[in-house]
Structure 1
Amino acid sequence: MMEMYLLSIIIASIFIIPFALKTLSPYFWVDVLYLRDLLRIFVTFLSRRRRRPFFFVLDRFLEQTAAHPDKLFIVFENESYTYTYTDKRSNKIANALQSHPGYKAGDAVALFMGNEPAFMFTWLALAKLGSPVALLNHNIRTKSLLHCFNCCNATVLIAAAELKEAVEDVLPSLIEHGVTVLLMTKHCDTPGIESFSDKVDEASDSPLPQSLRSHITFKSPAVYIYTSGTTGLPKAALINQNRLLIALAILSSNGVTASDVIYVNLPLYHTAGFMIGFIGSIETGSTIILKRKFSASQFWDDCRKNNVTVVQYIGEVMRYLCSTPKRENDKDHKVKLAIGNGVRAEIWREFLSRFGNIEVREFYASTEGNVGFVNYAGKVGAIGRVNFFHKKLFPYTLIRYDTERDEPIRDANGLCVESLKGETGLLVSKITDIAPFVGYAQNEEQTERKRLRNVLKKGDLYFNSGDLMRIDKDNFIYFQDRVGDTFRWKGENVATTEVSDILTISDCLKEANVYGVEVPGHEGRIGMAAVTVKEGSHFDGSQIYNHVVSYLPSYARPRFMRIQNAMEVTGTFKQMKMKLVEESFNPGCIQDPLHILDDHKKSYMPLTAEIYSCIISGNIKL
C-alpha cells in the first residue's frame, strides 16, 4: 500500500512540478538552458586561454580552414571564396606587405575600406603579421579622417581603390608624418600613393611563420573600432585580443552552427558587422553572404537567393524593412534568427507579423563597454534578462540619475543611490579583471569620463554606460534613453525614445527624432521633434495634435515640429541630434517647415518669424 502511495506521489510530481514551475516561474527552464550555454562558453574560453602558444581568433580561422578547406566562407556579388582561398589570399597580402620597406611586422595599420572581401582578407593578413588594425569608417573625410588615423599611431594606410580621392585630400599630412599609403589597385599615378593589388597578385601564398606574432598577448591591441557617436569626433575604442576571443562566442551562443548562412550587410568597420558577423562566423564555420551596404528593397531577395538563415540588424534596420511595400512572398524565406540591438517593441511585433516566425535575439552591448545582456527569452521590447549568476560574473547596478544636473544622485556619504526595481536608473558596471574597461586610444580625457568612482563604496570603480535602463518585476531589462537625450521640462523628465515611439505610430509620420531645446526665460528644455512624413501622406497638424494629446502628458508633448525630407543618421542608423539641438527652432535659420503646438486651435500651426520673436522676447510663454 505504501509503495503504491509513494508511486502515486512520484507520478504526480512528474506532472505537477513542471506545471508548477511554468506557472510560478515561467522562465525557469529558459534560464536553466541559458546558464548551461553560459557555462559551456566560459569553459571553452578558459581552455583557449590556457593554450600555449597563445590561441587567438586567427588560430580559430586556421582550424576551420584545416577542417573544411573547400567550404564557402564568403559570397560577394557574383564571386564565392572558400576558406582555403581566403587563407591563401590573406597570405599573399601579408607577404606583399612584409616585403614593403615602409612596413615591419607588428606595426599598426589603418584599414580604409567598405564592405568587400578584400577587407576580410586584409584583416586576416594583418593578424598573421601581428599588427593591430584600425577600422576606419569609409564615409569619413578630411579632418575626421586624419583624426581617426592619428588615434591609432598607424604607420601604414591601406585603402580601397574607390576611396582614392578621400586619401588624396589628406595626403600632404600623411606624407609629412611619413605614412606609407597603399591603394588596393593595380596602378596609381598619384605621387605618395602606391598601388598594392599588383604586388599582392605577384606575392607568394606560403604561410606566415607564427614567430611574427609571438610578441602578442591577450592584452595586446587587436583592433580599434571607432564609436559612431552622434556628437563630436569619433573615439577609438581599443579592442584587445582577449575581447576579440570572447567575441567568437556571440553567434555560437545563440545557436548558430556551421550549417547556417549569415547575411552581413552592416558596416565591417563597426562592432556589429565586424565582431558579430565576421568574427562570430569564424567560430561557427558558417558561410557569410557579404553585402556592400544595407538595402531594404533587396534584403529579402538576397536572403531567398542565398538561402540565408541568420540576419543581423541594428538601429532602424527593422523599421526600414517594415516600411517597404508588402509582398505576397514576405514569409517565403529560410531566415530563422535575427540578432542585433535597437529594435523598438512595436516594430518588433510588426516584423514578426509580416515576415514570419523568426527568433529575434535582441542584445545590449557597447563597443568599449564591459557589460552586456541577451534577451534569450524573447520578451518583446526587452534588451535582456538579468540573473544572479550573470551579476556575480559581471557586477552591475542601476543608480538614480539627475537628468537636470546631468550627474548621478549621491547620498550624504557621497555614494550613489541604487534604483528600485521598476525605477529608471543609469547602468553602471564594475571594472574588474574579468570585466575590464580598456578605454579610448589617445584620449585619456574621454576614457576618464566613462569611469565612475565611489559608486557603492569608497574607492570602487565602475564603467558609466551612459544608458538609462529599467528592470521589471520579471527581471527583464529595458533600454529607456541615453543620458543627455533625456531632458527636463516643467519639473518632469522626458525620455526622447518614448516620445519618438508615440509619434511614429501616428498615421502620417514615418520617422521622429526627438530632442530638447532651450527657450529664453524658461527652465529646462522644451520638446522638439524633427520628423519625416510617410510616402503618399502629408503633415496633418490637427491629426498629430490629437495623437500626442491622446498619448502624452502635457510636459512631454513636442512643442515644435520640424518637417524634413530625410532623417540624418550615422553609419549605424543612429539619429543625429547635436546639429538639430544647436539650430533650435529659429525659422530664420532653418529651411525646413516649422510648426508649433497651438492648444487654442488644437493643431500644430506654422511657426512664423513673428511668433518666434514673441517667444524669444517673452511675450509668449510656453
Structure 2
Amino acid sequence: MFLWTQNAVLIVPIALRTLLPYLWMDLLYFGDLLRILVSFSSRRRRRPPFFVLDRFLEQTAAHPHKIFVAFEGESHSYAYTDLRSNKTANALRSHPGYTPGDTVALFMGNEPAFMFTWLALAKLGSPVALLNHNIRTKSLLHCFDCCKAQVLIAAAGTDVLPSLKEQDVTVLLMAKHCDTAGIQSFSDEVDEASDASLPRHLRSHITSKSPAVYIYTSGTTGLPKAAVVNQNRLLTALAVLSANGVTSNDVIYLNLPLYHTAGFIIGFIGAIETGSTIVLKRKFSASQFWDDCRTYSVTVVQYIGEVMRYLCSTPKKDNDKEHKVRLAIGNGIRAEIWREFLNRFGNIQVREFYASTEGNVGFLNYAGKIGAIGRVHFFHQMLFPFTLIQYDTEREEPIRDAKGLCVESPTGETGLLVSKITDIAPFVGYAQNEEQTERKRLRDVLKKGDLYFNSGDLMRIDKDNFIYFQDRVGDTFRWKGENVATNEVSDILTLCDCLKEANVYGVQVPGHEGRIGMAAVTVKEGAQFDGSRIYNHLVNYLPSYARPRFIRIQNVVEVTATFKQMKVKLVEESFDPGRTQHPIYILDDKEKSYIPLTAQVYSSIISGNIKL
C-alpha cells in the first residue's frame, strides 16, 4: 500500500504536467482574477466613491518622497506632483472661462506637466480629452468638438488654431510668455498659485458612470473617434494592472504617447496603482532605449506595434544583455520578433495582452506562449462571454444561418471576435458619434435579441486554448476565392534579407473579383531590391493567391503615433505608376522575379488585355 501511494505521488505530477501542462499557470491566473474581483468590488463599495485620484493620494501619503516621474535630468516626487497639481488646479479655478466640472482638452506631448495637469483636473472633477498633439486643422477641430470642451490647455510652442478662439474657447498655454493674441500664458499663474488641497465637494458630482477621459482612436481610416472612458473603466484598469507583476520597487520606462491608451492607462495609471517610478520620455527612440534603461535602472518597459522590431533592427552591441529590465508589457509583437528579442536582449518576461480603448473584452498571455495574445478558459468566459464567429471578408459582414443568427467558428479556424455587452462588460461607445457607436454593436449573434460588441478583429483559438490575433477586418482581403491575412504576408516578406519593413494590403483590379495583394516595402540600408530573391522566397513560403502581385518601394513605411501602419492612401493610389514617384514592381512568373511595372503594362492590366 505504501509503495502504491509513493508511486502515485510520483506519477500524478508527471501525468498532470503531460495532460494539463498549463494547469499550474491557470490556477495562478485564477488567483489573480479573484484578487482583481475582490479589489474592484471593495473599491466600488467605498464611500465617498473611490477613483484613480484617491489611489494617487494614498500612494503619496504612503511614500511622499519617492520619485514619481523622472524626465530629462529632473526628478519629481509623489509629494511634489501632488502639490504641483494643486497649484495647477487652483490657477485654473481663477479663470472666468472655466468652472470646476467642465470638460477640458489637453493638447500636450509627453512631459511631467501633462501628468500634473491631469491630476489637477481630476481634483476639480473635470473630464479630460486627450488630444494627439501632432494633429492639426480639420482633425484638431473635429477632436475638440467631439468632447464639447470649454477649455484647451496646450504645451509651450504649440500653434493653436485661431478657429478655437472664434468658438469662445478658453486657450491656456503652458509657457512663461505667449505672444499670440487672445491666448493666455499659464505657467506663471501656476507658479504663483496656492498649493492648498482642493475641497472634495468640487468632485462630489462624479459617479462611476461619469466620463473620466476621452481617448481618441488612431484615425487610420477617416477622422478619429473619441472613446468614452468612464470612472468605472479606469477603476477596473487599476485592479487589472495590479495583476501584471509590477510592484512599487519597479521603475517603468514610459516612451509611448500619454494621449493614447497604452501610455496613459498602462504606463501612467498603472504606476499610480503600483506606486512605481516612471521614467518619462518625449517619444520612442530605438537608439536611446537601452542606454536610458541602464541609466535609470529600468525594470519594466512598454511596447506596442512595431516597437520591438525597431529595437531588434538597431546595430548589435556587446552590452545588449547588460540591463535590469525583467518585464515587457504590451501588444502587437510578432512571433519571429518575439524570439529575436529574447535571444538578443536576454531573459525578459514578455506579457503580451489584447485590449482596445473602447472594447469590453481583453486577454492576457500569462503563460508566455510565443505568438499568442492570451489564453482562454471557462472562468474568463463566465465573466466576459465572447465567441469567434465566421466572417465574410468579401462582403465585410458576419455569416448568418437560415435563422439569421451568426455561425461560430470551429476551433483552429479564424473568426471575428465578438463579446457580449453586459453590466460587467459594458460598451460605452464614442462621444457625439452614435452612428459609429451603433456600428460596433452586433445584434442576434447566438440568439434573437442578444447584443455583442464587434471588435473588428479576426482571431483564432488553438486546441490548447491559446488565442492568436490574425488581422483587422478590412485588412484581410479575398483573392481567387481565398482569404489573405495581411499580417502573415508582412511577416513572410520581412524575413527576406533585403527588406526592412512591409505594409501589405489588397487593391482592386478592373474585371477581377476580390482584391489582389500589394505591398509597400522599405529596403534595408546598404541592400538593394532583389526581385528574383524575393520571388523565390515568397514561392517557398506562400501559396500563389497570397503572394503580393505588386511591390511598391518606399523610403519609409508610414505609421500612426502608435505604430499602426497607414493603408488608406496606399489603397487609393493602388498600383498606378502615374500616381506615385515610388518604383512599383510586378510579379512575373515567367521571369521568376519582380520586374518594374511600366505604364504600358499597367494600361494593359486596366484594359483587360492582361489577366492577373
Q: Do the structures match in fold with TM over 0.5?
A: yes
Aligned partner (choices 49, 54, 65) of residue 54 of structure 1: 49
Aligned to 1:331: 321
Does the residue aligned with 1:588 lie in a helix, a strand or coil? helix
Aligned partner (choices 250, 254, 260) of residue 270 of structure 1: 260
- Residue 561 (structure 1) aligned with residue 556 (structure 2): no
Letter of the structure 2 residue corresponding to residue 8 of structure 1 = L
Aligned partner (choices 161, 164, 172) of residue 174 of structure 1: 164
Contact 1:73 1:81 in 2 (8 A): yes
Aligned partner (choices 111, 119, 122) of residue 127 of structure 1: 122
Letter of the structure 2 residue corresponding to residue 326 of structure 1 = K
Aligned to 2:449: 459
- Residue 77 (structure 1) aligned with residue 72 (structure 2): yes
CA displacement, residues 377-403 of structure 1 (integer Å, 9 cap, x when unaligned): 000000000000000000000000000
Does the residue aligned with 2:228 lie in a helix, a strand or coil? strand
1:209-220 to 2 correspondence within 5 Å? 209-220=199-210
Letter of the structure 2 residue corresponding to residue 194 of structure 1 = Q
Aligned to 2:523: 533
Aligned to 2:537: 547
Q: How much does 1:522 deviate?
A: 0.6
Q: How much does 1:229 deviate?
A: 3.3
Relative to the length of structure 1, the TM-score reads 0.98
**Structure 1, gaps ≥5 residues long:** none
CA displacement, residues 553-598 of structure 1 (integer Å, 9 cap, x when unaligned): 0100100000000010000000000000000011111110000000
Aligned partner (choices 478, 489, 492) of residue 499 of structure 1: 489
- Residue 407 (structure 1) aligned with residue 402 (structure 2): no
Does the residue aligned with 1:139 lie in a helix, a strand or coil? coil
Aligned to 1:106: 101
- Residue 321 (structure 1) aligned with residue 311 (structure 2): yes
- Residue 35 (structure 1) aligned with residue 30 (structure 2): yes
CA displacement, residues 307-327 of structure 1 (integer Å, 9 cap, x when unaligned): 000000000000000000000
1:87-166 to 2 correspondence within 5 Å? 87-163=82-158, 165=159
Aligned partner (choices 244, 267, 277) of residue 254 of structure 1: 244
**CA distance in 2: counterparts of 1:56 and 1:318, whole angstroms:** 33
Aligned to 1:341: 331
**CA distance in 1: counterparts of 2:296 and 2:190, whole angstroms:** 30
Q: How much does 1:190 deviate?
A: 1.4
Does the residue aligned with 1:463 lie in a helix, a strand or coil? strand
Contact 2:518 2:549 in 1 (8 A): yes
**CA distance in 2: counterparts of 1:219 and 1:315, whole angstroms:** 31
Relative to the length of structure 2, the TM-score reads 0.99
Does the residue aligned with 1:354 lie in a helix, a strand or coil? helix
Does the residue aligned with 1:398 lie in a helix, a strand or coil? strand
CA displacement, residues 446-476 of structure 1 (integer Å, 9 cap, x when unaligned): 0000000000000000000000000000000
Q: How much does 1:535 deviate?
A: 1.1
Q: How much does 1:174 deviate?
A: 1.4
CA displacement, residues 93-140 of structure 1 (integer Å, 9 cap, x when unaligned): 000001111101000000000000000000000000000000000110
Contact 1:260 1:287 in 2 (8 A): yes
Does the residue aligned with 2:286 lie in a helix, a strand or coil? coil
Aligned to 1:312: 302
- Residue 614 (structure 1) aligned with residue 604 (structure 2): yes
Aligned partner (choices 579, 582, 587) of residue 597 of structure 1: 587
Does the residue aligned with 1:162 lie in a helix, a strand or coil? coil
Aligned to 1:479: 469
Contact 2:320 2:344 in 1 (8 A): yes
**CA distance in 1: counterparts of 2:582 and 2:240, whole angstroms:** 43
**CA distance in 1: counterparts of 2:5 and 2:265, whole angstroms:** 49
Aligned to 1:15: 10
**Structure 2, gaps ≥5 residues long:** none
CA displacement, residues 413-467 of structure 1 (integer Å, 9 cap, x when unaligned): 0000000000100000000000000000000000000000000000000000000
Contact 2:51 2:231 in 1 (8 A): yes
Q: How much does 1:15 deviate?
A: 2.5
Give me the identity figure in percent: 81
**CA distance in 1: counterparts of 2:372 and 2:167, whole angstroms:** 48
Does the residue aligned with 1:138 lie in a helix, a strand or coil? coil
- Residue 367 (structure 1) aligned with residue 357 (structure 2): yes
Aligned partner (choices 56, 63, 76) of residue 58 of structure 2: 63
Q: How much does 1:12 deviate?
A: 3.0
**CA distance in 2: counterparts of 1:493 and 1:613, whole angstroms:** 27
CA displacement, residues 63-112 of structure 1 (integer Å, 9 cap, x when unaligned): 00000000000000110000000000000000000111110100000000
Q: How much does 1:192 deviate?
A: 1.4
Q: How much does 1:18 deviate?
A: 1.6
CA displacement, residues 148-200 of structure 1 (integer Å, 9 cap, x when unaligned): 0110000000000121x2x0xx22x2122211000001211211100000100
Aligned partner (choices 376, 379, 393) of residue 366 of structure 2: 376
Q: How much does 1:504 deviate?
A: 0.5
Equivalent pairs counted in the alignment come to: 612
**CA distance in 2: counterparts of 1:336 and 1:21, whole angstroms:** 29
Aligned to 2:212: 222
Does the residue aligned with 1:74 lie in a helix, a strand or coil? strand
Contact 1:544 1:603 in 2 (8 A): yes
**CA distance in 2: counterparts of 1:59 and 1:495, whole angstroms:** 45
**CA distance in 1: counterparts of 2:109 and 2:5, whole angstroms:** 62
Contact 2:517 2:549 in 1 (8 A): yes
Contact 1:249 1:280 in 2 (8 A): no
Contact 1:250 1:276 in 2 (8 A): no
Contact 1:250 1:280 in 2 (8 A): no
**CA distance in 1: counterparts of 2:413 and 2:275, whole angstroms:** 42
